[in-house]
């Protein structure tokens, strides 16, 4: 993750130096503040050593690549997962749209990478940020059963087969999740 933190720090500082909007909207000011917070301690002292994010390019601050290291002790340990985060024009009034770019076997990640998480839907708050979204996704990876219980009761599974496997045979689910992590992450 150290290399990723260095690359992302450089990408963010480059993008912020390209920002020349004369009167930026609230959304631009907010995402700029989030990028500044992510880089304030430099690339060697990230806010969280297991996650990082950066804009896709200096000209697209609202298209973000988030990176999460698979949580220790989970079936995703050892994997590096990339998530496309699209910030809507009305951010932070509306939540970002998150899609795994890395294939992953998880009950709350759909076949096209779509993330089903309560804070990305009806529990979104302006107090949340890109960083807190990535922290929540990391927590979801660290405890797939937690996501199943919440997702099953309210939203259904984004990946029905993975959810059924977790509920019916957690050991087989964990083997499949580890295999997918080794193959894709």
User: Which residue in 15, 68, 83, 116 is the catalytic one?
Assistant: 116
* 98 is a catalytic site residue: no
DSSP string, the chain: -HHHHHHHHHHHHHHHHH---SS--HHHHHHHHHHHHHHTT-TTS-S-TTEEEEEEETTEEEEEEEEEEPPTTSTTTT-EEEEEEEPPTTTTTS--EEEESS----TTB-TT-BB--GGGTTT--TT--HHHHHHHHHHHHH-HHHHHHHHHHHT--SSHHHHHHHHH-HHHHHHHHHHHHHHH-
Active site residues: 116
């Amino acid at each position: 993750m150290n290399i990723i933190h260095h690359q992302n720090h450089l990408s963010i500082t480059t993008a912020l130096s390209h920002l020349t909007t004369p009167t930026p909207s609230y959304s631009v000011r907010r995402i700029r503040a989030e990028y500044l917070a992510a880089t304030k301690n430099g690339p060697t002292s990230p806010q969280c050593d297991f996650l990082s994010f950066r804009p896709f390019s200096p000209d697209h601050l609202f298209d973000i690549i988030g990176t999460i290291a698979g949580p220790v002790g989970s079936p995703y340990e050892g994997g590096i997962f990339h998530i496309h985060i699209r910030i809507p024009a009305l951010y932070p009034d509306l939540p970002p749209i998150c899609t795994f770019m890395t294939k992953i076997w998880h009950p709350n990640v759909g076949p096209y990478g779509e993330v089903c998480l309560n804070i990305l839907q009806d529990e979104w708050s302006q107090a949340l940020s890109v960083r807190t979204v990535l922290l929540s996704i990391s927590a979801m990876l660290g405890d797939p059963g937690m996501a199943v219980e919440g997702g099953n009761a309210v939203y259904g599974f984004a990946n029905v087969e993975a959810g059924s496997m977790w509920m019916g045979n957690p050991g087989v689910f964990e083997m499949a999740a580890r295999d997918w992590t080794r193959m894709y992450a």
